[in-house]
Amino acid sequence: MKTIDCRGLNCPEPVIRTKEALKKHDSLLVIVDNKPAAENVARMAKNSGCRVEKLQEQDNFKLKLEAFGTGSPEDKAGSERSRSYLITSETLGEGPRELGELLLTGFLKTLKEVEPLPEALLFMNEGVKLVTVNDSAAEIIRELPREIEILVCGTCLDYFELTENLKAGRVSNMYEILDTITQTSCVKI
């Protein structure tokens, strides 16, 4: 793997060099010696469609970057559109409620482990309870990586009289939610 050594360089130089190198290489190992440089390189790489793995986070920071779409054609097709999830109830699936709640909690906890991160979670209908009165779920959702946008249906909050109880995400509207569904590959949970 091609290594880019950016030790001794200050922002934005590491970002510029990494970006240049990504034009020629699909995977890179980037070494920087300060945290801002590590954060900036990771930020740029994620936003230009790379998988970012932090290999070392002390003294020197080592980041492994892998561009998507370098594997099979299916991978490439899948990576072209970011994902979003539409969540409309407090349970995953329609079986026993207890199992459904357990599965949904598991789903939310696992989200951050799966790369690439989804672009957005959309909460509608009973789903808005997960970001309001359901404390444990709201906690998990609030802890999700900041890159994931959390959109909560305002009409639904009003209906359940939960607008004041919003604990995660931000109030959105049908226009924005529909736009996200259209722009991303959206899966209903």
Partner 1 sequence: MGPAELAKILDSLDFTSNDKNLMVGLESGDDAIVYRLNSEQALIQTVDFFTPIVDDPYLFGQISAANSLSDVYAMGGEPFLAMNIVCFPDSLDKKILRDILQGGLDKAQEAGITISGGHTVEDEEPKYGLSVSGLVHPDKVVPNSGARAGDKLILTKPLGTGIITTAFKAGLLEQSPEHPAIANMLQLNSRAAELFDRYSISACTDITGFGLAGHLLEMLKASGRGCRIQADNLPYFAEVPELSAEGIVPGGLYRNRETFSDQVKLTGVSQEFIKDLLFDPQTSGGLLISLPEEEAQDFLREFNDDRHRGYPVGEVVEGDSIVLE
In the complex, the residues that contact partner 1 under the rule CB under 8 A are 10-13, 15-16, 19, 34-37, 39-45, 47-48, 146-150, 152, 166, 168-171
Residues in the chain: 189
Can you say whether residue 10 is alpha, beta or left, with left for phi > 0 and alpha for psi between -120 and 50 degrees? beta
- Between residues 29 and 171, which has the closer beta carbon with respect to partner 1? 171
Contacts (Cβ under 8 Å, ≥6 apart) of 73: none
Nearer to partner 1, 40 or 89 (CB): 40
Between residues 27 and 165, which has the closer beta carbon with respect to partner 1? 165
Q: What Rg, from alpha-carbon coordinates, does the chain have?
A: 19
CB of residue 12 vs partner 1: minimum separation in angstroms?
4
Which residue lies nearer to partner 1 by CB, 44 or 86?
44
Helix (H) or strand (E) holding 38: helix 35-47
From the CB of 95, what's the least distance to partner 1, in Å? 32
Question: What is the rounded CA–CA span in Å between residue 152 and residue 156?
Answer: 8
CB of 16 to partner 1, least distance (A): 6
Closer to partner 1 by CB, 47 or 182: give it: 47
Enter the tokens of residue 51.
Answer: 């998988």
Give me the least distance between CB of 71 and partner 1, in Å please.
24
Distance of CA 168 to the CA centre of its chain: 15
- Which residue, among 90, 184, 88, has the nearest Cα to 136 in the 3D structure? 90
Specify the DSSP class assigned to residue 118: P
Identify any residues that bridge with 60 across adjacent strands, giving them in sequence order. 58
**Closest separation between CB of residue 180 and partner 1, Å?**
12
